[in-house]
């Protein structure tokens, strides 16, 4: 009983520490999860069998469905969300970049803060083992965040929080400690399907199923072909790096949202005033400088030029 009480106090302290680092929402899930996680694993398997992962072979990593392979003896995890919504808009007539890429590389931000949480946890409970994970780790991050109560997975495949909408970056701190879990989130999309017809390339082939082969975000970031498929180029509009269309259509993102004040998430000005005629002239070295410490470095300079050739800015 004393140890259970101590673990409850530890869980509360861990959440407070997470909030102090800018994470909100936060929640805890037990790794010995129930039917929901089994259903999520089965859905992932069906998604892979249908080929919806396109060239993203890493999505089939078996560790994605075996969390204990990431941390042997893992018994629970802390899921955290970091809102990247900033009340700023690109200039009229410019090209569009997904909001997640406006600030500094979120992989580094979240992993660094999670490591601080892990060290704090180890100081409080020296026998605790832990591992920090961002979305580069083979983990069903949205499913585990849902299990920890952060929000529910929407029909566009993104996690939605009541007050934060779907503008959330996710991270997880796996631990060998059996911390008391929070209640899993309940889905609240209801009969709403606004995100599905909003996609100009039909990537949301049915509710909760996104086909990467039709997705503008996949093609602008992951596709390494010299030219984009004709159907993608015809439908991408102003988007040259990722795409936020399905999220912008979501009613949960159309409510008044708090704008992040985190200095690491504020937009680089050039991303809000990007014009093809200027950017096409940038050298590889100039691209390297502009993308320093950015998650958008995954898009190589030649890919930016390819995307810029295909994109069409909205009328000014």
Active site includes 135?
yes
Helix (H, G, I), strand (E, B) or coil at 80: strand
User: Nearest to residue 114, comparing CAs of 64, 166, 71, 60?
Assistant: 71
State how beta strands 76-83 and 168-175 pair: antiparallel
Q: Are 270 and 241 in contact (CB under 8 A)?
A: no
Tokens at residue 235, please?
Answer: 């439908």
Tokens at residue 261, please?
Answer: 């004040």
* Candidates 24, 105, 135, 141; catalytic one: 135
Residues identified as active-site: 135
């Amino acid at each position: 009983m004393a140890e259970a009480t101590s673990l409850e106090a530890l869980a509360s302290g861990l959440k407070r520490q997470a909030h102090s680092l800018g994470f909100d929402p936060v929640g805890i899930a037990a790794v010995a999860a129930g039917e929901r996680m089994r259903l999520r694993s089965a859905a992932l398997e069906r998604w892979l069998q249908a080929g919806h992962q396109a060239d993203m072979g890493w999505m089939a990593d078996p560790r994605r469905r075996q969390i204990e392979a990431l941390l042997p003896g893992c018994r629970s995890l802390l899921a955290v969300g970091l809102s990247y919504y900033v009340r700023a808009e690109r200039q009229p007539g410019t090209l569009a970049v997904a909001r997640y890429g406006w600030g500094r590389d979120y992989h580094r931000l979240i992993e660094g803060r999670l490591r601080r949480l892990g060290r704090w946890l180890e100081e409080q409970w020296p026998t605790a083992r832990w591992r920090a994970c961002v979305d580069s780790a083979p983990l069903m991050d949205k499913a585990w965040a849902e299990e920890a109560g952060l929000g529910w997975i929407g029909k566009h495949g993104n996690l939605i929080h009541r007050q934060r909408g779907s503008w959330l970056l996710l991270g997880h701190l796996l631990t060998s400690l059996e911390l008391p879990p929070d209640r899993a989130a309940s889905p609240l999309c209801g009969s709403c399907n606004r995100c599905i017809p909003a996609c100009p390339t039909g990537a949301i082939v049915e509710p909760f199923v996104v086909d990467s082969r039709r997705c503008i975000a996949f093609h602008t970031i992951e596709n390494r072909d010299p030219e984009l498929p004709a159907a993608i180029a015809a439908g991408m509009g102003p988007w040259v790096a990722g795409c936020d269309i399905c999220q912008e259509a979501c009613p949960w993102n159309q409510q008044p949202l708090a704008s992040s004040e985190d200095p690491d998430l504020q937009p680089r000005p050039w991303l809000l005033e990007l014009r093809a005629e200027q950017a096409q002239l940038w050298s590889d070295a100039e691209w390297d400088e502009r993308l320093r410490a950015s998650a958008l470095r995954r898009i190589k300079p030649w890919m930016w030029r390819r995307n810029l050739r295909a994109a069409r800015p909205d009328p000014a």
